[in-house]
Chain A
Amino acid sequence: MTAPLLVFGWGNASRGDDALGPLFVQQLGALAGSSVGVRVDFLEDYQLQIEHALDLTCRERVLFVDASLNCVAPFDVTTLHAARDASFTTHAMSAQAVMQVYRELSGMAPPPCTLLAIRGTGFELGEPPGRLALFNLSQALVWGQCWLDGNAVLEPLTQRASHA
């Protein structure tokens, strides 16, 4: 029996704030306690691949999590739609492309997917995540818990923008 919820974070833990995706998954997993593996699956990887389309099977809803250099701070939320693009042939495959692969494989619409982009500022190899990025992560985790409970606000929260 597949868990109805999936939280999938990706990024390179050795590249500064790019670790935010995997860190979110680890920390939300710790907060989710006993529902892990029953109500919600947690998954992390370096980058999205076409095989990840298979992880969308039998889900009620999916949360994709990634660090971003240019989203609003501290985090941004977008509803995703399956879309064909050529990113599947690069290391920077998009979540929309994963959904498109799912659609083409199964012939069905993918489950509702949301992208949580957490603001980072530096992706230097060998650097740990920065303090500001970790603060943004903590804010995102609060929102993430709401998402697990089904209470999260899903529109892009542009009012939070404080930067030019």
Chain B
Amino acid sequence: MSFDLETAAHPEGLRRIAIDPVSRVEGHGKVTILLDDQQRVQQVRLHIVEFRGFEKFIEGRPYWEVPVMVQRLCGICPVSHQLAACKALDLVVGAQPITRSAEQIRRLMHYGQVMQSHALHFFYLASPDLLFGFDSDVSLRNIVGVAEAHPDIARKGILLRKFGQELIRVTSGKRIHGTGSIPGGMNKHVSQADRDMLRKDADQLVEWAAEAVDIVKQLHAQNRTLYDGFASFPSKMLSLVRADGAMDLYDGVLRVRDADGQILFDGVSDQRYMDLIEEETRPWTYMKFPHLRSIGRETGWYRVGPLARVQNCDFIPSPLAEAQRREFVDWGHGSLVHATLAYHWARMIEVLHTVEVIRDLLDDPDILQGDLMASGERQGGGIGMIEAPRGTLIHDYRVGPDDLITMCNLIVSTTHNNQAMNEAVRSVAREYLDGKELTEGLLNRIEVAIRAFDPCLSCATHALGKMPLDVVLLDADGGLADHVIRSADGELARHLAAPRGVEE
């Protein structure tokens, strides 16, 4: 099932249609569709066509540059990368734990950015399809069209996003590519003036966030068959959860549920992600295909992001969002909600949650004063994991005694969704395009399926895409002389104590 429509049996002689570029997403992607002369769909692929090679050129840089450099992976979620890198490097400088003030300010920064990213995605990018219809007039199907037809919704969306961006500016120094978070803690406190400026709007924003959830719920209720069926397919779900099972976007342990909702893995430490996840490359895209190592490539893939997080956790630790989560879960009538369009609903529930949390954090005096830096015994490396807006983000570094990075491995949120996005576009192709005359509106449906994932395709193409390699060097007596592992991202590391072999 997993690879049906991935590769046509006889591609020669088929007609090729390309959706290039996929619009109203971050980054570059294109979809190619191969059709036979009865217009039957024989192959559908989502290609990610750019790569930049961050993991390669970060090697050799001083470790304190890394939180600054990795933000240039993505201009919508740079804070995710800043914080994931800092969490990893906190371990290197021995800041275990960081101070309470540092963590609270980082949480404020992070929840602010999840909020703004979700608002940007929903209001600026995705809403035109949902408010006007998937086949609506191209010239209106954008933020300008929404602003003209629904000025109230557009304005609230802009102001929700603005609030999140201001939170980032206040905590990180700049809205985009700031420097507030550093290895070991934070660079500065939140000022009283900034805090007051933000706090006065917080209650209004909780209201508007609740309205946004209502908008999406209405869309689902009014178009039930479409929303439940469109690009719907079962999948596993992966995310971080807090130790007590609550939703936590900044920190936690890994949990995976299978398509029926049963927990497959739980409590996996972020330092052990490589035990759980491995990646595969395919020749037609620069984005890799992660899957659960123990289950394998065919059925070991999963979804991440709001749809996974809202259903993976046991509860959301803020009251209004928790009530919405219960309604969401009820929609599934005992099963997981697998509808791809439900991502939008889950995303708005997260916006509500983040604003509730932000309101509380703004009342915490530790953001205004208190120690900002911690340090301890130096370590040779560390892994930082965080729930970025689009899903679980993993940064893994090793640092030499000269403070230069010797290894960098990144598994970026959208990459986890690679197989799922391909499934989604194939499902749409089967249901809506197969055997039909292709119109712009029909092709837009393919993009609607992709947009639901809120992909960050720039982030996903950081890597050069490599297969893991394990080299064990034995000396003449059969003793271990050296053991070098090349990770899935091509970086070499000596792991004398590591178990041998990368794939069973």
List residues of A whose CB falls within 8 A of some B CB: 69, 85-87, 90-92, 123, 164
Contacts and interface: CB of A to CB of B under 8 A. Distances in A.
A85 B59 CA distance: 11
B61 A123 contact: no
Interface string B265-303: 000000000000000000000000000000000000000
B261 interface: no
Interface of A is mostly: loop
B481 interface: yes
Given A69-B401, A87-B60, A91-B62, 15 more contacts: A85-B60, A86-B57, A86-B60, A86-B61, A90-B60, A90-B61, A90-B62, A90-B404, A91-B403, A92-B62, A92-B402, A92-B403, A92-B404, A123-B401, A164-B481
A114 B403 CA distance: 24
Pick the 4 closest A-B CB pairs, nearest first. A92-B402, A90-B62, A69-B401, A92-B404
Contacts of B404: 90, 92
Interface residues of B, number: 9
Interface string B401-444: 11110000000000000000000000000000000000000000
Contacts of B402: 92
Contacts, number: 18
15 contacts: A69-B401, A85-B60, A86-B57, A86-B60, A87-B60, A90-B61, A90-B62, A90-B404, A91-B62, A91-B403, A92-B62, A92-B402, A92-B404, A123-B401, A164-B481
Nearest to B475: A164
Contacts of B401: 69, 123
A86 B60 CA distance: 8
Nearest to A87: B60
Nearest to A123: B401
A90 B64 CA distance: 11
A69 B481 CA distance: 18
A86 B62 CA distance: 11
Contacts of B403: 91-92
A146 B61 CA distance: 36
A156 B295 CA distance: 48
A77 to B, nearest CB: 20
A86 B58 CA distance: 10
Nearest to A92: B402
Interface string B377-410: 0000000000000000000000001111000000
A129 B210 CA distance: 64
Contacts of A92: 62, 402-404
B147 to A, nearest CB: 44
Nearest to B62: A90
Most chain-A Cβ atoms within 10 A of its Cβ — which of B60, B62, B403? B60
A130 to B, nearest CB: 15
Interface string B466-487: 0000000000000001000000
Nearest to A91: B62
Contacts of B57: 86
Interface string B42-82: 00000000000000010011100000000000000000000
A99 B16 CA distance: 53
A123 B404 CA distance: 15
Nearest to B60: A86
A86 B403 CA distance: 15
Nearest to A86: B60
A77 B149 CA distance: 74
A44 B484 CA distance: 36
Nearest to B496: A164
Contacts of A69: 401
Contacts of A123: 401
Nearest to B65: A90
Contacts of A91: 62, 403
Most chain-B Cβ atoms within 10 A of its Cβ — which of A86, A87, A90? A90
Interface in B445-489: 481
